[in-house]
Structure 1
């Protein structure tokens, strides 16, 4: 994906929140062996690009959206652009445009997923202290009974 040689205004790094997304700009995600860039306008992702750093395989559009990975170790950078620069970048990266823009919530949901969200989504509860004590006592009684 072509980006300007001089970095635009850097607005945030780290955990992503909807309030940190500019009206016009791009989001850069570095996660392990993947680098992803998303062009954002009015809370919608309008273009996507992904690069697998190891194989140097580039993907565009919906395929790139599917390859986006956001983990707690990911480095997320958000850049604000002016309308002219944004239009230029969109024109130069025509192959990256999505057939239908995606809501920015797609990315925020990926970035905000934490352990508690996953546990509640799959209705898994953490074992209580009593549960662990019961398991240990049960285990000790089986071992001691041999």
Structure 2
């Protein structure tokens, strides 16, 4: 997908809100090995493109929409465009146009599966301290008084 390379208006970490969505512009979503680009006009997604960085496989239209994943680790860049630039980009990316525009709610609801707290603690080998652990810590703490 061809896009101008100006600085993003917003850079978000996985917490996309309706107020971040441009009236006319595009969004770049970086999640793991996938880079997704969405062309947005009047709260509708009208074109989609996805690139898998590992396989260098490009995907367009609805197939690209299905590959979008937003997790807390996702980096989302939001770009606002004027009417002329938007029209130019839309014309240059003919192969990415969706057969039917998709409402922006699709994107706002597209999140990674709910993460289970126990799974996260286990993944990072973190365990909750027991009451005995806390008591031992408190009993073992001896403040230094007068430099002793």
TM-score, normalization: structure 1? 0.73
Distance in structure 2 (CA, Å) of the matches to 1:111 and 1:25: 21
Deviation of residue 32 (structure 1)? 0.4
Q: Shift of the alpha carbon at 1:8?
A: 5.2
- Count of residues paired in the alignment: 115
Greater helix fraction, Structure 1 or Structure 2: 1
Q: Gapped runs of 5+ residues in structure 2?
A: 117-148
2:23 aligns with 23
Return the alpha-carbon distance in structure 2 between the equivalents of residues 22 and 88 of structure 1: 17
Match of 1:7?
Answer: 6
Residues 16 and 111 in structure 1, CA contact (< 8 A), matched pair in contact too = no
The secondary structure found in structure 2 opposite 1:45 is: strand
Larger Rg: 2
In the aligned structure 2, how far is the partner of 1:17 from the partner of 1:114? 18
Alignment map for 1:106-125 (pairs within 5 Å): 106-111=106-111, 114-115=114-115
**What CA distance in whole angstroms lies between the structure 2 residues aligned with 1:10 and 1:64?**
23
Instruction: Give the alignment's Cα RMSD to 1 decimal.
Output: 1.7
Q: Secondary structure at the match of 1:7?
A: coil
TM-score (norm 2): 0.72
Q: In the alignment, what sits opposite 2:58?
A: 58
- Unaligned stretches of 5+ residues in structure 1: 117-146
Q: Which runs of 4+ in 1 moved over 4 A?
A: 112-116
